[in-house]
Structures are given as structure tokens and as C-alpha cells.
Amino acid sequence: MASFVRIETIVRTHGLKPATQRNLSLFTLSCIAHGYTAFLRPRIGFSYDALAGVGTRGHFHTLLNEERIAQQTEQVLKKDLKGFMEKTLLRAHQDGQKCIAKAKALSKLKNPLEKVRTILDIYPRYISALGVYNCLWRYVGNETCKGKLTEKMIQKIGKERDQIAPGYPLMDALTQKWSIELGKKWKMNGGLLVYATLPELKTILERETITANEKRVLQKRMQGYFYLFVEKGGTEEVFTSKTLLKQIHQKWFEVKAVNHVQGKTAFPGKVKGVVFNLQTHSRPPNGKFVLVASMTHPKDIALIRKAQAIVTDEGGVLSHASIISRELKKTCIIGTKTATRLLAQGDKIEVDANKGTVRIIQ
């Protein structure tokens, strides 16, 4: 109970609330935490300060203070919009592309130890570059901020973000692949390594071995964990207590059953269809379907073209779903927060993007 009280205090102090969901590893969550703090601050002048996330095998749901990030981004843009667009954003885009190219080039190396070691240096730097775009994403999507970006700027930023956004699933997949290769050399389950944090994995690789106790800890994390990072003081903790995880889920992640969800209109229209929940299923149902996802990616284009409409948990006007829906003139609602948890595969729904609502029909 004492641990939950302490966690609750930290979460409340930093204003953390449920935000993005990703089908990625705990190692990636740790890279995001470091990338959004110490690595991001020199680029943009501030950081996320703290980040948390609840996760399990290959999936996590973050807690962030998105409103504060939006407000701080607004202050930076007010101070020097031209300089930000021509210098900060340009440098972030170039760095993001360089990191992706360098990660891809590592495949030429034969030693998996060297591959994983190098990705540890690339990954948080890449995250900080993407983080600049994500700060803008949160700024544009925050209703309390006054927009300083023109539609032309928003379109440019969105397309640039899409160009470097594929980097984190790529680097996560490469890390998992090379960790498995490394595990074969060490005669262990290398898949366990992606349940280590960034500093933990660095230590293991420097030592070139993993202890029996470390293996047990990583195995527990595969079943469920709560991750907490606070920049000030460098606090990075991972909790696996089932009692604690239950309290955390009840406090921040349980959603009451309702027959509708509310979001923001990305492209207007009104359609009916059957839910294809991309968060829980890999194949769409037969017939007309509505694509329901945490967020969409360039790789989802074929699905989006077939879908009657798009509904996402996340996103603002810079999100991929928002941009592609406008290009394809596809009915789309973004930023519902809870669609993937409330709309089950096969549910028949009505998407009214004119009002920003999704209603379960049956």
C-alpha cells in the first residue's frame, strides 16, 4: 500500500494522465523516458520531467502531462517561431533520418553484441528528435493553446513527422531481433533483454553476461509491470507486484462501459459499420468495417482505404490519421482516448464525425 501511495503522489505531482499506447517493449519505454527528458531538453529548452507506463508482453500505455508540454511548446513558439521552424525543427528532422539510416546499417555487422550496444546510443537520440514533433503534436491538439501555426505549416510538420515516425517500431524490432541473436550466444532466452531498462541493458552488455537474479526479474516484467521515470534525481523504477498493478489499473486505466465515445473531427461524415479493433485483432471482419486504433501508421494505408471510417484514441491535426483522412476524404474521429478499450471487435457502430461522436448500435 505504501508503494501505491508514493506512486500516486508522484503521478499527481507531475500531472501525469493516460496518454499513448504502443505495441512495443519495456526497453523502448525506457528509451522514450530518457529521450523525452535529458536528450530533449537541449533541443527545445524543456522536457517532459516525468513519464510512467503500465505494460505487459510487448505493449504499454503511457502516462504523460500532455497539457504542460503543449503550454511550454506554445511559449517557445511565441518567443521565436521562425527560428524554431528553420533551425530546431529542421535539425530534429535531419537527426531523426540519420538515426534511422544508422540503425538500418547496423544489420551489416555480424556481432549481435555490437549491434545492440550501438542501438542503445542511437535510440534515445532518435526519440528526442521525434519528441520535438510530438511536442508540436500535443500543442496543436490542445484546446487551451492559441494556434500560431498556419495550415501550411501544420501540413508540412505532419508529413515530416510521418517520415521519421517509423523509426521507433523499426528500432524496437531490431533490438528484439538482435537480443535473441545475442541470447543464443549466451545460451539464454535473449527475448528477456527487452524487458530491461536502458541503463540496465547497458550494464548487462558491458558485463557481457546476465545473472540468474536479473533473468528472474525480467521474466516477472513480461507478465506485467508499472514503469516510472522522474528526470530530477534520475529515478527509474519498474514494479511487478500484482496487487500494486491492480491498484494502478483501477486508479487510472479502468473505463466504465458506455454506448458512445467522444472525440475530435479530423474529416467530417457519417457512416455505419462493424468495428475492426486494430489494438486487439489483426484481421478485419467481413463486409464494411470501421478501423479503430490507438493511432494509425503509414503501413496501415491499405486498411484505411478499405475502411468506412477511422476512429483513434490519440491524435491531433498533425497525426497520421488526421492527415491521411483529409487526403483520402475518409470520415475520421481522433483523440477519443478510450475507443480501443470501449469498442470491441464486431460491434456495430455509427460514426458521426460531424459531431465527433461514435455510438454503439448493437
Reported as a single tens digit per residue, the pLDDT across 23-40 is 999 999 999 999 999 999
Position 145 pLDDT exceeds 80: no
Position 1 pLDDT exceeds 70: no
Please answer whether residues 125 and 37 qualify as being in contact, where contact means their C-beta atoms are separated by less than 8 angstroms. no
pLDDT for the residue 150: 86
Confidence band, pLDDT 50/70/90 cuts, at residue 262 = very high
Please answer whether residues 135 and 43 qualify as being in contact, where contact means their C-beta atoms are separated by less than 8 angstroms. no
* Segment 281-301 mean pLDDT: 88
Compute the C-alpha angle 50/54/58, nearest 5°: 115
Q: Which of 84, 205, 53 is CA-nearest to residue 148?
A: 84
pLDDT for the residue 75: 94
Q: Of 355 and 2, which is predicted with more confidence? A: 355
State the Cα–Cα distance between residues 214 and 26, nearest whole angstrom: 15
DSSP H or E segment with residue 334 = strand 331-334
Q: Which of 151, 95, 149 is CA-nearest to residue 123?
A: 95
Residues in the chain: 362
Position 105 pLDDT exceeds 70: yes
pLDDT for the residue 77: 94
State the Cα–Cα distance between residues 98 and 126, nearest whole angstrom: 9
Inter-residue long-range contacts of 103-109, CB under 8 Å, 24+ positions, other chains counted:
103/167, 103/170, 103/171, 103/174, 104/170, 106/174, 106/178, 107/174
* Segment 105-127 mean pLDDT: 96
In angstroms, the Cα distances linking 95 to 31, 73, 256, 268, 318 are: 16, 20, 42, 36, 20
pLDDT in tens, 201-236: 999 999 999 999 999 999 999 999 999 999 999 899
pLDDT for the residue 2: 61
* pLDDT > 90 in the chain, percent: 78
Average of per-residue pLDDT values in the chain: 93
pTM: 0.88
Position 147 pLDDT exceeds 80: no
Please answer whether residues 137 and 165 qualify as being in contact, where contact means their C-beta atoms are separated by less than 8 angstroms. no
Confidence band, pLDDT 50/70/90 cuts, at residue 286 = confident
- Structural domains present in the chain: 2-251 (no CATH), 260-360 (3.50.30.10)
167-181, 240-254, 308-322: segment of lowest average pLDDT: 308-322
Confidence band, pLDDT 50/70/90 cuts, at residue 66 = very high
Q: Of 95 and 1, which is predicted with more confidence? A: 95
Position 141 pLDDT exceeds 80: no
Position 176 pLDDT exceeds 60: yes
